[in-house]
Amino acid sequence: QYGYKQSYKKAAELFSSAAEKGHARSQFNLAMFYYDGRGVEKSIDKMVFWLKKAEASGMPEAAAALKEIQKIIADK
């Protein structure tokens, strides 16, 4: 869109780099990429790992997402 080729793999690499440095929004976004398998291999374990990091960094969306994931897992 807007003349730029979208690359989920490149976005995942950039999110990963920022997430490793403690950037909460990147941690959350990387978790969602692992959930969807966008640019990375789908991994629930890695998604939960990054959601926990984002939650610890003070991101309320991550806390809400973790609660939803725990409900889904408990219902299975």
The answer to whether position 3 is within a domain reads no
Q: Which domain holds residue 23?
A: 8-75
Q: Global pTM?
A: 0.86
- Residue 61 backbone zone (phi > 0: left; psi -120 to 50: alpha; other: beta): alpha
What are the tokens at 51?
């959601």
Q: How many distinct structural domains can be found in the chain?
A: 1
pLDDT at 2: 60
The answer to whether position 1 is within a domain reads no
The answer to whether position 17 is within a domain reads yes
What are the tokens at 34?
């692992």
Contact 34, 40 (CB under 8 A): yes
Local confidence pLDDT in tens for the 76 residues of the chain: 565 668 999 999 999 999 999 999 999 999 999 999 999 999 999 999 999 999 999 999 999 999 998 888 888 7
The answer to whether position 70 is within a domain reads yes
- Closest C-alpha among 16, 41, 42, 20 to residue 29: 16
